[in-house]
Structure 1
């Protein structure tokens, strides 16, 4: 999935191209792009995504300075999110999140400075922290990938996630994942984030598949 953005009309609007890649749609049926920009009207066929082979594409020119919530609606498989969205926010429906395309800040044109400035530093830039979520009892490679796509990619964020939100993410991922019980995941992640590995091991010895 991808959100391609092109500034238009001297910065007042952005042409956003929504793309669902091959094998990313839940089925081969028609898909509607619904959101704040069309008042979530599912009877508006003008927002049906164009199918090109096994991919779906739809471009919209949206006003800058706003954030737009949206989701995709498959004719036969129902709602699903964009894994490449700028953000995710809770919807009015319990346990469900909407994707967000963020146009609240418009990129400014770069100013070219002709003068060459030499910068020297002895400090090494630290890489962004990445935690192995598979160390949490009940989380395998695929679920770790799903959580990371939802912005829960390290122990600290997982420790602060509510069980209700985690259950919603698993339910949205499909029945294969909704059977998992994430009740202990935040507690495990809190211990891992604090490097309390011995305590985590003792807790995991008492667990059964992360329950």
Structure 2
């Protein structure tokens, strides 16, 4: 897992790249990035499968919001964790959401 951030100089946004490792993906056919930045829409942000078995996605997040919560949805029915997140927040449903700070 990895999260990389690139702050844009001319706009109040940060490009955030999310990568799920082959080991974490565990032979998944699809992974979606789900979070408050896309209203927790389970289908809106599919991650791209790489030949290496990893999955990646990039989103632009507004820097005026101090943090965003997110999760990865694997094959439509399994949530996977991100050990590289900036923090964690109890979601009150089934565990924790992950936090990325921009």
2:49 alignment counterpart: 51
Q: Secondary structure at the match of 2:25?
A: coil
1:1-211 matches, within 5 Å, as 1-10=1-10, 12-44=12-44, 47-53=45-51, 54-66=53-65, 67-75=67-75, 77-94=77-94, 96-103=95-102
Q: CA deviation at 1:69?
A: 0.2
SS of residue matched to 1:61: strand
Please tell me the root mean square deviation across aligned C-alpha atoms, in Å.
1.6
Query: Residue 27 of structure 1 contacts residue 77 of structure 1 at CA under 8 Å; is this kept in 2?
Result: no
Consecutive unaligned residues in structure 2, runs of 5 or more:
none
Q: How many residue pairs end up in the alignment?
A: 100
Which is higher, the Rg of structure 1 or of structure 2? 1
1:59-111 CA distance string (max 9 Å, x none): 011101321000000115511121100000110215x00000011xxxxxxxx
Instruction: Report if the CA contact (8 A) 1:26-1:77 is conserved.
Output: no
Note the C-alpha offset of 1:42. 1.2
Equivalent pair of 2:33/2:71 in contact (CA under 8 Å): yes
Please, what TM-score do these two structures have when normalized by structure 2?
0.88
Q: Which has the higher strand share?
A: 2
Partner secondary structure for residue 10 of structure 1: coil
| More helix by percentage | 1
Higher RCO by CA contacts (8 Å cutoff, separation 6 or greater): 2
Structure 1 distance, partners of 2:48, 2:85, is: 19
Structure 1 stretches of at least 4 aligned residues deviating more than 6 Å after TM superposition: none
CA offsets per residue over residues 102-143 of structure 1, 9 Å max, x none? Answer: 11xxxxxxxxxxxxxxxxxxxxxxxxxxxxxxxxxxxxxxxx
